[in-house]
Amino acid sequence: MREGYREELDDINASLVGMANAVGSAVSTATTALLDADVALADLVIAGDKQIDATRESIEQRCFTLLARQQPVAGDLRTITTAMRIVSDLERMGDLAEHIAKVARMRFPEQAVPQEVRSALLEMGHIADLLITKTATVIATRDVEAAQELETDDDAMDRLHRGLFRALLKDDWPHGIETAIDITLLGRYYERFADHAVSVARRVVYLVTGEHAPVPAPEA
Amino acid sequence: MREGYREELDDINASLVGMANAVGSAVSTATTALLDADVALADLVIAGDKQIDATRESIEQRCFTLLARQQPVAGDLRTITTAMRIVSDLERMGDLAEHIAKVARMRFPEQAVPQEVRSALLEMGHIADLLITKTATVIATRDVEAAQELETDDDAMDRLHRGLFRALLKDDWPHGIETAIDITLLGRYYERFADHAVSVARRVVYLVTGEHAPVPAPEA
């Protein structure tokens, strides 16, 4: 029994990695849908979020069952409670990818993203992709150094986010309020996506080292 | 020992209620700070969020210790894992109150909220207050009917949120992009605040009935 238990712990971790990969695919696809005004891709992301939500339910349930049946202590207990939190972050990241896709869908056949901020959003999408890829690796390997890299990537995301506001606030912004609202929300979605990736990484660091990462700079 | 354990469970629940009350105070104060351009109140909310975060840490740690020492099963186990999730929602609601206060602070001594949307934001603040007050009651009493009321309040919040966008998109919006960005983000903060309140209520319903609430309408 105890061996089946160890296997189940490993299986849960593998499911978390699979879920992170699904979220990575969702955010990449959402970014493409957004920048190419591709409504079929947007719909793919929106439909796919149900699967991500179902995976969350399933992992949570398996963690709960493991807690109930095996009554783990110490490290194993910490592993399971950490998995339960990571799965929340990942699900939320899936929601944010879906929100991005919905902006693309709402403006279709128009482009939601005007030329002035296209490269910034492309770059934000790129960093989101990088972050979730690293997050999956961190979950799989518990690599504390890789986990700390995510903080740097998140700083880059924050810089891009601030740049987006600067672009909106230029005197000659020609696209009106509706586009400004879209861009404001999109910026927020990517920024929150990055925050959740960092949150996952910090949980893994805490699991491995027993130490909390340095207190984060207050979110803008 | 078993009796101390029951008391500790009750204590944790009381701490959750206390935390919900602190979050309620934060969001009310943030709304006042915002609508009165009162920077001292904004600073109070911003400083107070550290206490809310510390309460989260403390409750999480107590839940973990209880899991490790008492190895609860069935209902008690479910109570503890639910508490661990509720505490995340409440902490995030505290963050959102802080974000609202930060908008007030950033625009001080100017008013962040122009006359056109003042009453909508006042009403959103009012509903946020109502929601967190009910959330505290639901945590304290596990009243499933009260929990379901939160869904209706959340619908009201969503309507106000949509109304906010309509106000921004009127042809004669006279306040420019910066104010539109502020209002967009403020709307998002209040809406997310309500979502988290509903999430807490649903967790309590699940704890009591073993049934998930109906699948939520997709978030706009």
- On whether any CB of chain B is under 8 Å from the CB of A71, the answer is yes
What's the pLDDT at B2? 61
Residue B154 has pLDDT above 90, yes or no: yes
- Residue numbers of B between 127 and 146 with CB closer than 8 Å to A: none
Q: For residue A70, what pLDDT band results from cuts at 50, 70 and 90?
A: confident
pLDDT tens sequence across B22-57: 999 999 999 999 999 999 999 999 999 999 999 999
Task: Give the list of residues 6+ apart from residue A176 with CB closer than 8 angstroms, or none.
Answer: none
* B147 part of a folded domain: yes
Taking the CB of residue A47, how many other CB atoms lie within 10 A of it? 11
Determine whether the interchain pair B68/A73 forms a contact, defined as Cβ–Cβ distance below 8 Å. yes
What's the pLDDT at A214? 56
* Gap between the Cα atoms of A29 and A129, Å rounded: 10
* A58 part of a folded domain: yes
Residue B217 has pLDDT above 80, yes or no: no
* B63 part of a folded domain: yes
Structural domain containing residue A18? 2-209
Of A183-192, B1-10, B46-55, B58-67, the poorest mean pLDDT is in: B1-10
Q: Which of A68, A73, A95 comes nearest B77 by C-beta?
A: A68
- On whether any CB of chain B is under 8 Å from the CB of A188, the answer is yes
* B214 part of a folded domain: no
Residue B126 has pLDDT above 70, yes or no: yes
Residue A218 has pLDDT above 60, yes or no: no
- On whether any CB of chain A is under 8 Å from the CB of B206, the answer is no
> Are the CB atoms for B98 and B26 separated by under 8 Å?
yes
Spell out a b/e string for B105-134, using b for 16 or more CB atoms within 10 Å of the CB, else e. Answer: bebbeeebbbebbeebbbbbbebbbbbbeb
Q: For residue A219, what pLDDT band results from cuts at 50, 70 and 90?
A: very low
The CATH number that applies at residue A170 is: 1.20.58.220
- Residue numbers of A between 86 and 115 with CB closer than 8 Å to B: 88, 95, 99, 102
* CA angle, B62 then B66 then B70, to 5°: 170
What's the pLDDT at A71? 85
Does a cis peptide bond (omega within 30 degrees of 0) precede residue B109? yes
Residue B1 has pLDDT above 60, yes or no: no
Over chain B, what is the mean pLDDT?
A: 93
* B152 part of a folded domain: yes
If we measure between CA atoms, which residue out of A159, A120, A133 comes closest to residue A34? Answer: A120
- On whether any CB of chain A is under 8 Å from the CB of B167, the answer is no
Give the single-character DSSP code of B163: H
Residue B220 has pLDDT above 60, yes or no: no
* B77 part of a folded domain: yes
For residue A63, what are the CA distances in angstroms to A9, A66, A77, A110? 8, 5, 10, 44
Best mutation site among A181, A186, A189 for testing chain B: the one with the most B CBs within 10 Å?
A: A181
Task: Give the list of residues 6+ apart from residue A29 with CB closer than 8 angstroms, or none.
Answer: A41, A44, A45, A97, A101
* B217 part of a folded domain: no
What's the pLDDT at A72? 86
* Gap between the Cα atoms of B153 and A205, Å rounded: 39
- On whether any CB of chain B is under 8 Å from the CB of A167, the answer is no
Q: For residue A165, what pLDDT band results from cuts at 50, 70 and 90?
A: very high
When divided into structural domains, chain B yields a total of 1
A174 neighbourhood in chain B, CB within 8 Å: none
Residue B156 has pLDDT above 70, yes or no: yes
pLDDT tens sequence across A22-53: 999 999 999 999 999 999 999 999 999 999 99
B-chain residue closest to A174, CA distance:
B177
* B10/A2: higher pLDDT: B10
* Gap between the Cα atoms of A220 and B169, Å rounded: 25
Determine whether the interchain pair A185/B181 forms a contact, defined as Cβ–Cβ distance below 8 Å. no
- On whether any CB of chain A is under 8 Å from the CB of B78, the answer is yes
Give the number of residues written for chain A: 220
Residue B207 has pLDDT above 50, yes or no: yes
* A155 part of a folded domain: yes
If we measure between CA atoms, which residue out of A157, A208, A216, A196 comes closest to residue A20? Answer: A196
Residue A220 has pLDDT above 60, yes or no: no
ipTM attached to this prediction: 0.91
What's the pLDDT at B214? 56
pLDDT tens sequence across B193-204: 999 999 999 999
- On whether any CB of chain B is under 8 Å from the CB of A180, the answer is yes
What DSSP line would sit under chain A, residue for residue?
-HHHHHHHHHHHHHHHHHHHHHHHHHHHHHHHHHHHT-HHHHHHHHHHHHHHHHHHHHHHHHHHHHHHHH---HHHHHHHHHHHHHHHHHHHHHHHHHHHHHHHHHHTTS-SS-HHHHHHHHHHHHHHHHHHHHHHHHHHH--HHHHHHHHHHHHHHHHHHHHHHHHHHSTT--SHHHHHHHHHHHHHHHHHHHHHHHHHHHHHHHHHHS-PPPPPPPP-
Of B10-14, B56-60, B115-119, B172-176, the poorest mean pLDDT is in: B172-176
Of A68-72, A119-123, B6-10, B159-163, the poorest mean pLDDT is in: A68-72
* Gap between the Cα atoms of B71 and B82, Å rounded: 15
Best mutation site among B116, B181, B186, B206 for testing chain A: the one with the most A CBs within 10 Å?
A: B181
If we measure between CA atoms, which residue out of B43, B51, B46, B47 comes closest to residue B22? Answer: B51
What's the pLDDT at B215? 46
Q: Which of A67, A73, A188 comes nearest B77 by C-beta?
A: A67
Q: How far is A161 from chain B (nearest CA, A)?
A: 13
Best mutation site among A43, A63, A175, A177 for testing chain B: the one with the most B CBs within 10 Å?
A: A177
Q: For residue A210, what pLDDT band results from cuts at 50, 70 and 90?
A: confident
What's the pLDDT at B213? 62
Residue A217 has pLDDT above 60, yes or no: no
Residue B180 corresponds to which tokens in the numbers above?
A: 């539109």
